Amino acid sequence: MSDFRDRIVTFDSKEEWLAFKRTTISATDVIAIVGLPYFGRTAMSVFMDKVDPDYGDESSAAMSRGTAMEPFLVSAYAERTGVELLDVPRWWCVTHPTLPWLSCSPDQAWADYRRNVEAKTSRTRRGWQDPREAPDGVPEAYIVQCAIQTACCETEGADLVAAVGSLDDFRIYDGLHRNARLEKALIARATEFYENHLKPEVFPEWDGSEGADRLLRSLFPHNTTTDQLREVDDEERAVVDYFYLDAQARMRAEHSESIWAQRVQSIIGDSPGICGPGFKITWKIQGSGRVFRPTFYEDFTPTTEETDEHE
């Protein structure tokens, strides 16, 4: 354990704090990067939030409510446990000791720098275990968040205080101890994302998210002046085939269809559309934006055997 006070960065406002976080990968960013559900965020939305200053990855109502409750929960934690906490401003960050692009924002920490304190609210009890039986029994996303916090702060672990279901159900989970193996795996994923995507500004895979939709609209806001559809090559046709099977059979989830639609839109680019044997797909300007319209012909309807092969 080491004293992390020389790596504390403080801010006068939430706006300054958010601006700094956009220059680093934060603990909550890692949750999305590894693919865990966290208020609808994805690797693509993390990427867009970092590279596009106008993106504005807006907080949900649940996230805003949780942020507003944090000071109350931390105060209740200190009163119940008698632990002395750090004297820090409301908005602060700690950077990793060797990776300056990795940061965390604990809600508080012990004054002796031994443990972090994280506060959460949840309307549902799903994923939350009884802390008396499972002192680390919190949703997986928060285990990831606390692991990155302990890695950045080099603390022994974290205490997570939570109001679960209602403010009357006040819980303290004190079993989130530092896990070197988990830290190593998470930092490896964060490093891969930083080196392969953020640093060179290379887009992650299309993931069906709103962030990916906004990226496509910004990359290809207009059609070319020609009305002639572009013929696809064999590799592009494979993407379109998957999109078609997805849309026609509805065998996959709607989220999956959005991903393939985004991949097709990225193939169309700034042309008005594409075409091939049995289909045409347009993405033309109508009104104030572009309208995506796939059309497939009856003679392209796959047989049962062909459909089964793609399931």
Residue 205 lies in a domain: no
Residue 94 lies in a domain: yes
pTM of the full predicted structure? Answer: 0.76
Reply yes or no on whether the pLDDT at 310 is more than 70: no
Residue 171: its pLDDT value, please? 96
Residue 224 lies in a domain: yes
Closest listed residue to residue 108, CA positions, set 70, 64, 164, 147 = 70
Same domain for 167 and 294, yes or no, is no
How many domains are there within the chain?
A: 2
Same domain for 184 and 230, yes or no, is no
Residue 204 lies in a domain: no
* 203-251 tens-digit pLDDT: 998 888 877 887 788 888 888 777 788 899 999 998 888 888 777 665 5
Confidence of residue 167 (pLDDT cuts 50, 70, 90): confident
Q: Which domain holds residue 63?
A: 5-198
Residue 101: its pLDDT value, please? 97
Same domain for 146 and 190, yes or no, is yes
Residue 215 lies in a domain: no
Task: Out of 198, 233, 264, pick the residue that ends a domain.
Answer: 198
Residue 49 lies in a domain: yes
Asked whether the beta carbons of 285 and 292 are under 8 A apart, the reply is no
Residue 129: its pLDDT value, please? 95
Task: Out of 164, 198, 232, pick the residue that ends a domain.
Answer: 198
Reply yes or no on whether the pLDDT at 38 is more than 90: no
> Could you tell me how many residues make up the chain?
311
CATH of the domain at 106: 3.90.320.10
Asked whether the beta carbons of 263 and 206 are under 8 A apart, the reply is yes
Residue 308: its pLDDT value, please? 36
Residue 169 lies in a domain: yes
Same domain for 228 and 113, yes or no, is no
Average confidence score pLDDT of the chain? 87
Residue 207 lies in a domain: no
Asked whether the beta carbons of 255 and 268 are under 8 A apart, the reply is no
Q: Is residue 265 classed exposed, middle or buried when 0-12, 13-18 and 19+ CB atoms within 10 A define those classes?
A: buried
Same domain for 96 and 51, yes or no, is yes
